[in-house]
Amino acid sequence: MRDKQQIRNVFMPLPPGVIRDSIVSFLSTECSDASIADITSAVRSRVGEVSGSSVRSYLSLNSPDVFERTGRGRYRLLSPESTQKQGKLKILAPETIARVGNATLYNADCFDWLDDQPQNSIHAVVTDPPYGLIEYSKKETEKLRSGKGGVWRIPPSFDGHQRAPLPRFTILNDEDRRELSVFFHRLGTALARVAVPGANILVASNPLLSHIVAGAMAQSGLEIRGYISRQVMTMRGGDRPKNAHEEFDDVSVMPRSQWEPWVMLRKPLDGRVQDNLRRWGTGGFKRISEDRPFGDLIRSHPTPALEKKIAPHPSLKPQAFMRHLVRAVLPLGEGVVLDPFMGGGSTLAAANVVGYQSVGIELDKNFFEMAKTSVEQLTNVVVRESP
């Protein structure tokens, strides 16, 4: 078995950008310059224990583009106008960054954030994007929050239980689908740059749109590795023809959906699998046990009411499923897991439980604020036995 110290030397101690963003956050509040010791202390107060050499390296590598050395062991932040004019850094305000356990949360546009990250710095991606893009536009999320529905279908109540709104994927037209393809091609291109060779990229989808997601992301240079099937009964499908349900009472327009596809992609390997594992720590899935490999059919259940109460996000996935999935994506159990569409924070909470470093990006300010509290609470949720 590979020596653990060798593995640690491959991976960064914190997700990419965390130290730099903490330095920027601290220096942006300073009127002048600060010593390396003061900067290091400020970074530690934000993200936990880090080595002084890491701080010095970030300062040195990003000078004079972002930081200016004012004297021996002293630095200051260049003006935002200067750094942005050079296109070197998009400075985030302190309130747009949070740290919960091993997770770092950003309130930002994921494409902007990805553009600002170094190549080969993320070891796995697990995400549930807005694959019905219309649903997560500002106009439609405002309708959802006000209870007016918009393109969110309000299903009927059964047995006295209130049903959560569901996205109506079937209303997408040809232009919407073309825009969806462009969106996922752009996402695949951005992820292919920051992901290390052999990185697993798992993207939640649905049976109506998974072919668009897979095709667009494969065209960006990622390899399609198949699909993971989350076996779960949903509220989609099974309905009789609209406004003709009595005439055709024995017809369902679509089958009742009982599975959710996750598109499984991988950044091309650097050599053989064994070479990639030795160099990058990626290139496969972590086995469930010595005699049981990770499988592509995962029995699941709808998200429990307790978890939805903690994080009332319309696409929240259950922790039992997410912990099973997230654990598997890092074959050697070390690295950084990215969720560029963090939502309620279920991926980050799962990463905290299994002991992985993670980064979550969320554009919507309300969802970001939700995740700042829900990640810790979801981390502490006790679930029944994993799938």
Q: What CATH number was assigned to the domain covering residues 1-91?
A: 1.10.10.10
| Closest residue by Cα to residue 259 from 237, 234, 225 | 234
* Angstrom distance (rounded) from CA 57 to CA 375: 31
CATH of domain 96-379: 3.40.50.150
Predicted confidence at residue 31, as pLDDT, reads: 60
Q: What pLDDT does 278 receive?
A: 96
Backbone angles phi, psi at 240, to 5 degrees: -75, 165
Give the pLDDT confidence score for residue 10 in this predicted structure.
40
Q: Which residues contact 227 (CB under 8 A, 6 or more apart)?
A: 210, 214, 261, 262, 263, 264, 296
Mean pLDDT by 10 residues, the chain (387 residues): 42 60 74 83 77 80 79 78 46 74 92 89 94 55 57 46 50 77 93 96 91 95 97 78 87 86 97 96 96 96 94 93 98 96 96 96 93 97 78
* pLDDT of the residue at 241: 84
Cis ω for the linkage preceding 293 (within 30 of 0): no
Both tokens of 145, joined, read 């929050």
Q: Which residue has the tokens 């992901």?
A: 195
Domain boundaries, the chain: 1-91, 96-379
Would you state the pLDDT for residue 212?
Answer: 92
In whole angstroms, what is the distance from residue 326 CA to residue 349 CA? 10
Strand partners, 326: none
| Tokens 């279908």, located at residue | 153
**Whole-angstrom Cα distance, residue 11 to residue 14?**
8
Residue 203: the pLDDT is 97
Residue written as tokens 């969802």?
Answer: 367
Looking up tokens 């997408």 gives: 172
Residue type, 166: L
